[in-house]
Chain A
Amino acid sequence: MSAPILESPTPLPVERIQKLVGYGMRSHADGYLYRPTSVSEIRKIIDLARNTGRKIVLRGAGRSYGDANIGSECVVIDITRMNRILSWDAETGIIDCEGGVTIEGLWRSTIEDGYWPPVVSGTMYPTLSGALGMNIHGKNSFKVGTIGDQVRELEVLFPTGELKVLTPEDELFYAVISGAGLLGIITRVKLKMKRVHSGNLKVLAVSCDNWDDQFEIFNKFEHDSDYMVSWIDCFGRGSQAGRGQIHVAWYLNEASDLPVSLLPSNQDLPDSIMGLFPKSSVWQILKYFNNRPGMRFINYVKHNASKLLGNGKEIEQGLVGFSFLLDYVPNWRNAYLPGGFIQYQSFIPREHAKEVFSKQIAMQQEAKLESFLGVFKLHKPDKFLFSHAVDGYSLALDFKVTAKNWSRLESLCHRMNEVVLSAGGRFYFAKDSTLRPKDVHTYLGEETLKKFREYKKLCDPEGMLTTDLAKRLELV
């Protein structure tokens, strides 16, 4: 007789394995998912990974588009359950919270006291840990910089077990923020919120016929606005290339009393379009238009509508409605299934921006792989180690991925990379899917990478923290 049949326990619990996807749904990897609620739980998970010979991937809300939040066969520490606000001072505007607090958590708990997060992404769901790992920016990037610039204090747990408080006085502060989750786990964040006097913004919409118009309007409002963002119709060609619509916005400072617009319930996005059509079904309709002719049509209609309706008009819009365009249509990304999509965002110094973006649009059109959505913004440089920002502009592009088009799309991105790099441009890990180690080497420079390796040795000597992005770009 053979030995009695007993299920021998596996080193890691089998039920932990999950398929985790990047936001663009093209990249995915199976990992052992843990969602700790305290620093001591994180410590135990680090020990477990060490004892089972596994690497660790840090994940927030999973809003990075590519492979920055996944890692095959790794232990994944998802910070989303560490979402407590530890203290809030409405006098000073200083909020102290755990790393899993989201942008939504920030604004919901402070807006009625007249505060708004100083930097927000196009969606309200990222966690602070994730947002700081990537050092996100918003539509006010040209004015206030990135989210890292707003932080007063960080608590970071390193894989060695050391828990450290970092402030802007520490050199390491500038590496952990922007460090793509490869140095330590941001467990607590203290930052200064922005005082607002109304829950609304004054918003001006301006239609643009081409790149010249775009740059002219940005120049005009650069020193006299709080937010600027432009939508680009990537199907516009020739003299129409770069056509789109700019939104410029200002905080309202006049109101002395706190108006009702500051109540969270008055900020919530409507659940239907024109009070009729439920938004939850919109992506199912959008799916049928999510192809070249369909998107050419939608972009064309949107551009002409922006010219005819409301061009040059000022309106008041809620902070939430203006800020979180990506949350406007729930599950919109499902329209890109089954292949998903990638985002491609490059940051170009002022003097070359027009030339580079014109080239990128022309290259996409030539490859018949136009981006279905283009977003154009202005930035200012920052001091963070893996900074993506430049004194210049960025263009973010959404490309649909299919089994058939992937190799052509990847090659288009690589060709666009060359143009970006020769203009001294930069890239952004949260949005990346196609960079190669040599591209990163070029834009970050040997000096920065050497510094990173030194920090890595110091903070994570066993090399436990990794991601599929870090492996692809040979950062670890």
Chain B
Amino acid sequence: MVGASSGIGAEIVRQLASQGCRVAAVARRGDRLKGLAAEFPQNVFPFEHDVTEYNSVPGLFQTITGQLGGLDLIVYASGTMPEVGITEFDFAKDRQMIEVNLLGAIAWLNQAAIRFQNTKAGSIVAIGSVAGDRGRAGQPVYNTSKAALTTYMEALRNRLCKVGVKVVTIKPGPTATEMTAHLHMRGMAKATDVAAFTLKKADRTGEYYFKFTHRIAFFIIRHFPSWLFRKLSI
């Protein structure tokens, strides 16, 4: 579980560990990981790691699979969404989102893809976002990072489905986590529910919206022509 220190990732770790799975919890914030590992001392193995340290990923990936004694499932949930003003263009923030949301995912999931295409088994899951479905005024680069992640995952799926590897993209929609706390939105999904949904879909290749209403709404939104979309305030 990459991106395990809070939110959906931490919930996925908890749910897997309570089912008896051995889970490697990978995240930047070591103190959070320690707390998580203390909850399930037999099942959770903490690994402190910054996903933008791309160079260390292959070695760490092999260490983790060695310690777990195999690998059936990898979930990438690391994500960042700094507050971006409606007129703000801050390259540092933009770059961080691309590095964490996209390049980190590619660094980790490439390793899983290499392994699973050899073993002809396994599931690769990434937490995408409905935000990747269109480019919107509020979060240009968050949208970009998630759109690119979705495209990367689709390409992985098309490569790996031939050898029986499951590749799954989850689009949770607004979820109550630390990442979205600054949005002050009401009616957000609970991280526990999204985590349970993610694990339910983890062995079914495809792209999944957490909410059925999102599936319908974003089907329509995706098909708005650009000239119409920019006139709407959605």
Contact = CB atoms under 8 A, between A and B. Distances in A.
Nearest to B68: A73
A2 B121 contact: no
B187 interface: no
Interface stretch (A10-18, A87-95, A358-366): A10-18
B55 A6 contact: yes
Interface string B111-129: 1001100111100000000
B104 to A, nearest CB: 12
23 contacts: A6-B55, A7-B55, A8-B55, A8-B56, A10-B58, A10-B59, A10-B61, A11-B62, A14-B62, A14-B115, A14-B118, A15-B114, A17-B115, A17-B118, A19-B118, A19-B121, A29-B70, A30-B115, A30-B119, A53-B66, A54-B66, A72-B69, A72-B70
B118 A10 contact: no
Most chain A CB within 10 A, of B59, B65, B66, is at B66
A3 B55 CA distance: 9
B54 interface: yes
B82 to A, nearest CB: 18
Nearest 7 A-B pairs (CB), nearest first? A19-B119, A72-B69, A10-B58, A10-B62, A72-B70, A8-B55, A73-B66
Contact of A30 (B61, B70, B111, B114): B70
Interface in B51-97: 52, 54-56, 58-59, 61-62, 65-66, 68-71
Nearest to B115: A17
A18 B119 contact: yes
Nearest to B57: A8
Given A14-B62, A17-B115, A17-B118, A73 B55 contact: no
A29 B69 CA distance: 9
A5 interface: yes
Contact of B58 (A14, A29, A30): A14
Contacts, number: 52
Q: Does more than half of chain B's interface fall in helix, strand or loop, or is it mixed?
A: helix
Interface of B: 52, 54-56, 58-59, 61-62, 65-66, 68-71, 99, 111, 114-115, 118-121
A9 interface: yes
Contact of B54 (A5, A15, A18, A53): A5
Contacts of B68: 73
Contacts of A54: 66
B65 A73 contact: yes
B58 A17 contact: no
Nearest to B58: A10
Interface string A154-168: 000000000000000
A54 to B, nearest CB: 7
Contact of A15 (B62, B65, B118, B120): B118
